[in-house]
């Protein structure tokens, strides 16, 4: 495909406002991307979240302010994704708590 004599490469996914949409609209790429981001954040904040001297309220605040927005970004759109993909997100959410 070309536009003004420039070749436009074919892609299996489209990124629009941070939401990854694949050609079958299963949101497989979106859930995988969210899971990977949460895993990276968990590795970054692991020592803070596992610190025994830290107040539980502070840990909950970190979870709600850092991890939840990444995990559930665009949830209103991909809420109709297959149960398999949503389960991957639920597993990561459980690992966070």
Which residue segment(s) compose the domain that 8 sits in? 2-96
Roughly what angle, to the nearest 10 degrees, separates helices 28-50 and 83-96?
Answer: 10
Confidence category of residue 87, pLDDT binned at 50, 70, 90: confident
pLDDT of residue 79: 75
Digit-coded pLDDT (tens) for 27-61: 888 888 888 988 898 888 888 877 778 888 888 88
Q: Return the DSSP state at 25.
A: S
pLDDT of residue 97: 66
Model-wide pTM > 0.75: no
Indicate the number of domains in the chain: 1
DSSP-H helix ranges across 1-97: 28-50, 56-62, 68-71, 75-78, 83-96
Confidence category of residue 84, pLDDT binned at 50, 70, 90: confident
């Amino acid at each position: 495909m070309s536009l003004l004599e420039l070749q436009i490469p074919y892609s299996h996914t489209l990124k629009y406002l941070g939401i990854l949409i694949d050609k079958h609209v299963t949101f497989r790429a979106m859930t995988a991307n969210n899971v990977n981001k949460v895993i990276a954040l968990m590795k970054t904040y692991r020592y803070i979240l596992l610190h025994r001297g830290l107040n539980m309220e502070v840990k909950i605040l970190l979870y709600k302010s850092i991890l939840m927005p990444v995990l559930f970004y665009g949830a209103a759109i991909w809420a109709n994704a297959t149960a398999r993909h949503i389960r991957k997100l639920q597993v990561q959410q459980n690992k966070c708590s």
